[in-house]
Amino acid sequence: MRRIGRIIVAILAAIGLTVLLLTGGGIWAAIAFKDSTEPRLPKDMILSLDLEAKFRETPSGDPFAALAGERAYVMRQVIAAIDHAATDPKVKGLFATLGSGQLSLASAQEIRDAIVRFRSSGKPSVAFAETLGEGSNGTVDYFLASGFSQVWVQPSGEVGLVGFAAESPFLKGTLDLLGIQPQLAGRKEYKSAIETFTETGYSQPHRQSLEAILDAWSGQVIAGIAQGRRLGQDKVSALFGKGPFLAAEALSAGLVDHLGYRDQALAAAGATGKKGEEVDMAAYAAHLPKGSGPRIAIITGSGAISRGGDDSPFADDDGFGAGVIAAAFRDAVDDPAVKAIVFRIDSPGGSYVASDTIWHEVGRARAAGKPVVASMAGVAASGGYFVAMGADRVVAQPGTITGSIGVFSGKMVLADFWPKLGVSWDGVKRGDNADMMSANHKFSPQAWERLNRSLDAIYADFTGKAAKGRNLAPDRMEELAKGRIWAGSDAQARGLVDALGGWDVAQAQVRELLKLAPDADLDLVAYPKPKAPWQKLAKMMGGGGGLAEDEGMRALLRLARVLAPVAAQLENGGTLRLPAGAVP
């Protein structure tokens, strides 16, 4: 009996070790994350910014992202850091590396505007690139670099000022070969997503909208380069699209200031006479003082709009689940300290129902007396525009893709595809339209009518709410809708957007709505409060609110409670008696 007891004791020890590893290890890692405070900043510093890194709207939702080597910045924090650095006497200059980034034009405009504001302080701002677009398009990267006071390129590099192009695949021929028939309907002719499956090339409306976007982007880039490089706009127009230029050619054309290497460019960033220590922008941003003015809730949605939300420890804080966003709005409305809301949007659209849920919460916030400013990032189209259009003010970058006021739906019919694989289907149903979305047959006339009636209702709701929110006549809104995308600059000219700019303009709109001084301080607070990596790790390892929330841990503890008295009895030579109710 004692031998059995020792075996049970060993099992208990194993259970204890498992619990210790899961909880203690998680707690240790959590504490390590939590207590890893940023080092103190030096007295003299040069801020460095890696523009080839990833830029996010909120911190990463993955607690292991940093350990895996992911390098990412939070856009709002970077903009705030650059603006603060302009007047910080400890900051002697700004140094950035770039060359093959993945920034959208709108994101590049956001950062570039902040760089230009920093540049006006008189401090050196230096952009360095080994090359701008080696084997790829370097137009956006060079546009961003042109905002700095100095542009350096490695002698072996190039300046890929090649312009903009759009091309799209069309799958109709492939689907025909496979026997797959798309049955799709859209509202209206500019809602071109379905053309990928139904056409072999761009329709005239699709081509028209894309060409307008490229025209707008090209004009913005040419004007920005001319301003930043102090070149005539005609000269920049002549150079635009003619690259890539060899480094020496770019120097001769006035596109860059110096040919050299990173160490030489970095030294130039400290040209104020004092040699500053290089400090990464993220580390500097972590030391920014907290705002002392009225509290402004920052609510961020990024990605496809969906119903519900994801509460897992690996979920991104900037997802676009309607449940999460709606709850954030309700929390901000219920918080008496919150005086206004900035709603940051980066989304190509998604669920109509989810978009409508969020639109309603925007209206509730306004009705509660809390102004809402929608700030568009790279894209806020279709559902992304739906959730923005009810705000008091809508702000977009000139290069933002927005609009797309329309809807589409349908299915792929595989009836002629399955026989090619030797697959057959059968089924039963109750209700004429019970299987209307089945891929195994076409829509019946009745089902097709119901689908189109739904699309008509959604389109009417979308355009009606947009017209009311933007204070436009229904006929005028119909001209602007039809599923057409617009560059932010064109949207602003047509009344779909109020102002052009980024975080700085959104905050200026908040001050105006609250009747504050133009330079009034604001206390920007994220809703919901982002979880730090150590909190997410603790939740993953230990169940967030304690061990009792974790099923696996709870089962181990129940088993330990059962075996402990058994082991004690056997060790003492007693008779085996299971306590009542002890079976897990």
Residues noted as catalytic: 191, 382
Q: Which residue has the tokens 């689907």?
A: 175
SS (H, E, C) 21-37: HHHHHHHHHHHHHHHCC
C-alpha to C-alpha distance for 496 and 486, rounded to whole angstroms: 9
Alpha helices in 482-545 (DSSP H): 488-493, 503-513, 533-542
Name the region of 304 (left: φ>0; alpha: ψ -120 to 50; beta: rest): beta
Q: Please state the φ and ψ torsions of residue 401, each to the nearest 5 degrees.
A: -95, 120
C-alpha to C-alpha distance for 307 and 317, rounded to whole angstroms: 15
Q: Cα dihedral angle (177, 179, 185, 189), rounded to 10 degrees?
A: 10
Count of CB atoms within 10 A of residue 342's CB? Answer: 25
Q: Please state the φ and ψ torsions of residue 315, each to the nearest 5 degrees.
A: -70, 140
Angle at 544 between CA 541 and CA 545, to 5 degrees: 135
Which helix (H) or strand (E) covers residue 453, if one does? helix 445-470
CA atoms within 13 A on the CB side of 39: 5
Using CA atoms, how far residue 218 sits from 158, 211, 380, 511, in Å, is 20, 10, 20, 32
Q: Which residues of 270-283 are buried (b: 16+ CB within 10 A; e: fewer)?
A: beeeeebeebbbbe
SS (H, E, C) 374-386: EEEEEEEECHHHH
